[in-house]
Amino acid sequence: MTMPRSRALTNCVLLAPERSVASNGSGAYHRAVIRTTSGRSVPGAVVSFPTGSRDSHVRIEALPDVASARAIDVAEAFRDVPGLALLESARPGRNARWTYLTADPVAVLDAPSAGGDPFAVARRLLARLDGGEASPRIERGHPPAPRDVPPFIGGLVGYLAYDLGHELERLPTLARDDQDLPRLRLALHDWVVAWDRRTGAVWLAGRATDGDAARLDRRLAEVRERIRRPRPTTTRLRPADPEPLEFTSSLNRTAYECGVDGVRELIARGDIYQANLTRRLAAPFRGDPWPLYRRLRTGDPSLFSAYLDLGRGQAILSASPEPFLSVDRTGVVASDPIKGTRARGRTREEDRALAAELLGSAKDRAENVMIVDVLRNDLGRVCVAGSIRVPRLCRLERTAAVQHLVSTVTGQLAPGRDAFDLLAASFPGGSITGAPKIRAMEILEELEPVRRGPYTGALGWWGPDGAMATSILIRTFVADGRRLTLHVGGGITYRSDPAEEWDETVAKAAGPLGAIGGREVSATGE
Q: Tell me whether residue 376 is exposed, middle or buried, using C-beta atoms within 10 angstroms of its C-beta: 0 to 12, 13 to 18, 19 or more.
A: middle
Determine the pLDDT at residue 67.
85
Instruction: Give the bridge partners for 307, in sequence order.
Output: 86, 317
SS3 62: strand
pLDDT digits (tens, 9 = 90+) for 34-71: 333 344 444 433 343 333 333 458 899 999 889 889 99
CA 470/CA 164 separation, integer angstroms: 15
Instruction: Give the bridge partners for 436, in sequence order.
Output: none
| Helices (H), ranges, 61-197 | 71-74, 118-127, 165-168
CA 400/CA 314 separation, integer angstroms: 27
CA torsion angle for 28, 33, 36, 42 (degrees, to 10)?
Answer: 50
Length of the chain (residues): 526
Determine the pLDDT at residue 385.
96
pTM to 2 decimal places: 0.85
**Residue/partner pairs of 439-443 with CB below 8 Å, 24 or more apart:** 439/271, 439/272, 440/272, 440/274, 440/275, 440/276, 441/165, 441/169, 441/171, 442/171, 442/172, 443/263, 443/266, 443/271, 443/272, 443/275
Query: Taking the domains of the chain in order of start, what are their residue ranges?
Result: 58-229+282-331+413-432+451-487, 335-412
Determine the pLDDT at residue 249.
98
pLDDT digits (tens, 9 = 90+) for 403-447: 889 999 999 999 999 999 999 999 999 889 999 999 999 999 999
Residue 175 has pLDDT above 60, yes or no: yes
Q: Of 158, 205, 169, which Cα lies nearest the Cα of 47?
A: 205
CA 63/CA 223 separation, integer angstroms: 12
Residue 142 has pLDDT above 60, yes or no: no
Maximum distance among all Cα pairs of the chain, rounded to whole angstroms = 71
- DSSP 8-state assignment for residue 2: P
CA 290/CA 238 separation, integer angstroms: 10
- Containing 378, the helix (H) or strand (E) segment is helix 362-380
- Among residues of the chain, what percentage have pLDDT more than 70? 81
Determine the pLDDT at residue 242.
53
Name the residue type at position 331.
G
SS3 163: helix
Q: Tell me whether residue 229 is exposed, middle or buried, using C-beta atoms within 10 angstroms of its C-beta: 0 to 12, 13 to 18, 19 or more.
A: exposed
Kindly give the pairing relationship between strand 41-46 and strand 28-35.
antiparallel
Report the top-level CATH class of 58-229+282-331+413-432+451-487.
alpha beta
Contact 266, 494 (CB under 8 A): no
Q: Which residue has the higher pLDDT, 402 or 258?
A: 258
Distance of CA 381 to the CA centre of its chain: 23
> Going along 312-401, which residue ranges are E strands?
314-320, 323-327, 332-335, 338-343, 389-398
Average pLDDT along the chain: 84
Distance of CA 409 to the CA centre of its chain: 17
pLDDT digits (tens, 9 = 90+) for 363-391: 899 889 988 999 999 999 999 999 999 99
**Residue 332 neighbours by CB distance under 10 Å:** 17
- Cα-based distances in Å from 147 to 39, 96, 144, 303, 467: 20, 15, 8, 21, 14
Name the residue type at position 437.
K
Determine the pLDDT at residue 42.
40
SS3 351: helix
- Catalytic center residues: 322, 339
Mean per-residue pLDDT, 91-110: 87
In this prediction, residue 524 has a pLDDT band, given cuts at 50, 70 and 90, of very low
- Counting runs of H as helices and runs of E as strands, what totals does the chain give? 11, 27
CA 4/CA 462 separation, integer angstroms: 30
Determine the pLDDT at residue 148.
78
Q: Tell me whether residue 504 is exposed, middle or buried, using C-beta atoms within 10 angstroms of its C-beta: 0 to 12, 13 to 18, 19 or more.
A: buried
> Going along 372-431, which residue ranges are E strands?
389-398, 402-412
Q: Of 205, 170, 211, 213, which Cα lies nearest the Cα of 189?
A: 205
**Residue 287 neighbours by CB distance under 10 Å:** 13
